[in-house]
Each structure stands twice: as structure tokens, then as C-alpha cells.
Amino acid sequence: MLRMAEEITIDQALESFLDEQRERLSAGTMHSYEQVVELLRHSLNGYAPNTLDKGEHKRWTRAFEAGDEDAFCHLFGPEHILGNVSEFLGYFMIHKVMAGQELLRSAGTVTKKLATWLYEQHYVSDEERGIAVERGTDAARDLPRAERLATLLYDQSRHTPSFDPEDHGAADFVEDYLMIDRVEPGALYFAGGIGPVAVPEKACTLAEVGWGVNISLVRLDGTWRVVEVGNVYPM
């Protein structure tokens, strides 16, 4: 049976979770947990209000407009955390945080541990726990890979010759968020029939069909080349 939401706020739940981890983790690992939980707080306070129902959103708006920028975590209970895990792992950690591979991996690992802890405390259902654990497992594996792929594509862009975009029409110059449509040895293909784009073999071992990339591409002398690269989104 789930506990009543009014018994504890998100902030209090996250602090209780961290307190329990301090009893068993090394100082270095604990630092990673604290970093991830703080980033999760920022994500929840910044984006999770959009998931509230009308009455809850009015309550949040009153507190926020009164000056409480962390109103979401101050007002609402831990049952609201796991529904926002996808936003945290799939957008916030990639787009809003300058994170290295270890922190990206830790974000997935801590999410799994937090989901299990919330279930053990009877704040969430087993189904909710299972979905979040799966999401965390994917993130721990894929977020570091996506960051490495972005770095390799950026390195590739530095070898693209200078050109004038005005000399190339829409069919030969693309700036967009593109999905990876196919991966072959030494080449990536993007949705919309764009490709092959020559990339290092290592990039092909990292890339997955369905991942999204903020990227600019140009076709020079019949060959697609990388011009600029933003974020790679694995989920």
C-alpha cells in the first residue's frame, strides 16, 4: 500500500535517500550521488510543473510567484519523482548539464537506486519502479556512449573544407535535429534520405538507429560531410 503523499515532500524524500546511502557508500561515490540528486532537483523544479494537473499547477504557481523557485520540490510528494525521470535523463542531463562520462553514467545508476528506494518506502508502485529502473539502466549505458559519439562527430567536422552555405540549396545543406536511420561500417545515414555520411569506425560502434542528433551537414562534390554537431540524444 502506498503512503500518503502529504507525509513527506520531494526534498525531504531525497534527503532521506541520501542519508541512507551515506551509511554504506565511500566518500567518492557519495559525492556522485549528491551531484546527481542536486541535478535531479533542478530538473524537477524547472520542468516537472508542466506535468501537474490544473489544481496542483495553481498551487505551484502561487508559491513560485511568491518567490519560491524550488516550489515543486517543496510542495509535492515523492510520488511525482519517477514520472519525470525521462525528462531528467533524456533531456536535462544532455542539454542542460556539461557532464563528463562518469557523471552521465552515475545519473542512470543513481536513478535506479532511487527508484528502488522509493518503492521500498512505499512511495511508488512496483510498476513505476520497474519503468524507472529500466530507464536508468539504459541511461547508464547510453548517455556516456552518446557523449563520445558527439565528440567523434565534432572531430569529424573539423576536417570539413570551408564553404559558403549560400552556394548550396536545401538538398545539399541541412541544419536540423535528425534521427539516425541506418548504421553501416564507416557511415551513418539520417532520416530524410541523408547519407552516407562518412564517420570513423568507432563512431559506428557507438551510434544506434533511432538516436537523435542536432547536426549540420553539407554535400560537397557528392559527399555528405559534418559541419557542426550539437547534442546526441539516445532516448
**Mean pLDDT of the chain, nearest integer:** 93
Give the Cβ contact number of residue 148 at 10 Å: 17
pLDDT of residue 98: 83
pLDDT of residue 168: 77
pLDDT of residue 5: 47
Segment 102-112 mean pLDDT: 96
Instruction: Report d(CA 118, CA 45) in Å as an integer.
Output: 19
Segment 42-71 mean pLDDT: 97
Instruction: Report d(CA 123, CA 3) in Å as an integer.
Output: 6
pLDDT of residue 200: 93
Q: What angle do CA 125, 130, 133 make, to 5 degrees?
A: 125
- At 188-227, the pLDDT tens digits run 999 999 999 999 999 999 999 999 999 999 999 899 999 9
- At 134-167, the pLDDT tens digits run 999 999 999 999 999 999 999 999 999 888 777 7
pLDDT of residue 39: 98
Distance, C-alpha 135 to centroid of its chain: 10
pLDDT of residue 2: 56
Which one has a higher pLDDT value, 1 or 169? 169
pLDDT band, very low/low/confident/very high, at 6 (cuts 50, 70, 90): low
Instruction: Report d(CA 209, CA 167) in Å as an integer.
Output: 31
- What share of the chain has pLDDT > 70, as a percent? 97
**DSSP assigned state of 48:** G
> Among 1-10, 67-76, 97-106, 152-161, whose mean pLDDT is lowest?
1-10
- At 65-80, the pLDDT tens digits run 999 999 999 999 999 9
pLDDT of residue 4: 54
Tell whether the model's pLDDT for residue 102 goes beyond 70. yes
Tell whether the model's pLDDT for residue 1 goes beyond 70. no
